[in-house]
A = this chain, B = another copy of it.
Amino acid sequence: MKALVSIIMGSTSDLKVMEKAAVFFDDMKIAFEMNALSAHRTPKEVERFAIGAAGRGIKIIVAGAGMAAHLPGVIAALTPLPVIGVPVNATLDGMDSLLAIVQMPPGIPVATVGINGALNAAILATQILATGDENIMKKLIVYKESLKQKIVKANDELRQINYKYKTN
């Protein structure tokens, strides 16, 4: 089974955030690979990775990084594949990372999700794959329905809470 998606992170300290993406791909039965490569400490490896990704069959790259987060942008500069950037909150509530990922100059976009939003990055990657794969699309629709059920159930529980002047 060849990986369709590649998860990459700037440091293993980002794993606690990025593993939510891995778990989601597992649940969706989407083959993926996962690497720790640093734009700053292993630039050569990042370059080799980025240039080779499309040729290996990767369709989408999910890249997480914190602080002055250059990893997603550096990869996006070296591949025509869509790159999804996950700002990881390491300092300043993640605002430095968000801006360093999302504010890319014209020509090299990074599809940015919210701070620590690795799950959403994985869902977005899956949505992209689903545009060309009906099987994945069906699983996505089931997943979205489960999100709805969770909040419907939450609402039911909320109704059980008793306040004197609360009506039902």
Interface residues contributed by chain A, number (CB under 8 Å)? 101
Contacts A39-B73, A40-B77, A67-B114 given; 6 further ones with Cβ under 8 A?
A25-B165, A29-B164, A68-B103, A108-B120, A109-B127, A111-B111
Given known contacts A117-B109, A124-B82, A131-B82, A67 and B147 CB-to-CB distance under 8 angstroms: no
Q: Is the CB of B107 within 8 A of A40?
A: yes
Taking beta carbons and an 8 Å cutoff, which residues of A are in contact with B? 1-3, 10-12, 15, 22-23, 25-26, 29-43, 45, 47, 59-60, 66-70, 73-74, 76-78, 80-82, 84, 91-96, 98-117, 119-121, 123-124, 127-128, 130-132, 137, 140-141, 144, 147-148, 150-152, 154-155, 157-159, 161, 163-168
